[in-house]
Amino acid sequence: MAKKLYGKDAQTFKKWVNQGAETIIDIDGQRYLIQALQESRVKIEIESDPELREMIKRADKDIENGNLFNTEDILEAIERGEI
């Protein structure tokens, strides 16, 4: 669940987090590990590969235009040697 901090709370939290990659905060005896979210490997791969980005754009356009195939259609096309 995402929460947003404002004002003094946000400033204090930023100070704590900027002290290291991982921060442990103790609230009433309960410890919480706070760390930055890492970019997903998939997102990094997509952003670094222009050919893959172009393929995804084409797929998005195909979906928008209703050019869709289900698994059964694809398997039948393979059996017929079309793919």
Give the residue extent of every domain in the chain. Answer: 1-36, 41-79
Q: What is the pLDDT of residue 30?
A: 95
Q: How far apart are CA 32 and CA 34, in angstroms?
A: 6
pTM of the entire predicted model: 0.43
Amino acid identity of residue 77, one-letter, is A
Q: What is the pLDDT of residue 42?
A: 83
At residue 1, does pLDDT exceed 80? no
- Tell me the C-alpha to C-alpha distance, in Å, between residue 68 and each of 54, 73, 76: 18, 10, 15
pLDDT, tens only, 18-57: 876 678 889 999 999 887 777 788 888 888 999 999 999 9
Q: What is the pLDDT of residue 46?
A: 87
- The residue-averaged pLDDT of 62-78 equals 91
